[in-house]
Amino acid sequence: MIKSTDSQTNRRTLMSEKTIFKRIIDKEIPATILYEDEQCLAFQDVSPQGPVHFLVIPKKEIPSVNEIEENDAALIGHLFCVIRKLAAEQGITETGYRVVTNCGPNACQTVPHLHYHIIGGRSMTWPPG
Ligand code: AMP
C-alpha cells in the first residue's frame, strides 16, 4: 500500500480549497477570457443572465466585499476601469448595464472570491428579486 506523506495530504487539502475562480486564474480550468492583466481577470459567465454577462475578478483572493481592505482601494478602482472598458467593447455603454456583486448568503453569493457581474444587452427591472 502506498501511503501519502503529510506534505502530499496538505497539498491536496490546499488544492481542494481553491475556489473555482482561483482555478480559472491559475488556468486549471478553462474559461472564455475577455481581458487579463497582473491584477485582474475578466471572463464570460458560464450561465449568462443576458446577451452580455461577464465577470471581473481580482487575482488577489478577496472572498467578498466584507473582506475588502483600505489598501485594496486602488485595485477596486482598477476593476471598475476594466469594467468600463469592457462594457464599451461589448457595445453596452449607451444602452446601459448592471454591475452587481453579491455578498453573502442573503444576496445569493455562491463563489467566495470577490467578483463583479456585468449584465447588459436587455432591459431589466428594479428592484431585483
Ligand atoms: P455569485 O452567485 O454572485 O457568487 O456568482 C457566481 C457566478 O459564477 C454565477 O453567475 C455562475 O454562473 C458563475 N460561474 C460559476 N462557475 C463558473 C465557471 N466555471 N466559469 C464561468 N462562470 C462561472
For residue 117, report the distance from its CA to the centre of ligand 1, in Å.
9
Which atom number of ligand 1 is nearest to the Cα of residue 102? 3
78 catalytic, yes or no?
A: no
Q: Above 80 in pLDDT, residue 1?
A: no
Burial of 71 (0-12, 13-18, 19+ CB in 10 A): exposed
Q: Which of 5, 111, 114 is nearest to 59 (CA)?
A: 114
Would you give the end-to-end CA distance of the chain in angstroms?
Answer: 54
Question: What would the pLDDT profile of 50-93 be if each residue is shown by its tens digit?
Answer: 999 999 999 999 999 999 999 999 999 999 999 999 999 999 99
Angle at 119 between CA 86 and CA 85, to 5 degrees: 10
pLDDT, tens only, 15-55: 458 999 999 999 999 999 999 999 999 999 999 999 999 99
- The answer, yes or no, to whether residue 94 has pLDDT greater than 70, is yes
Mean of pLDDT values over 1-12: 44
Name the class of domain 31-120: alpha beta
Residues in the chain: 129
Residue from 55, 102, 106 to probe ligand 1 pocket by mutation (most atoms less than 8 Å from CB): 55
Q: What are the boundaries of each domain within the chain?
A: 31-120
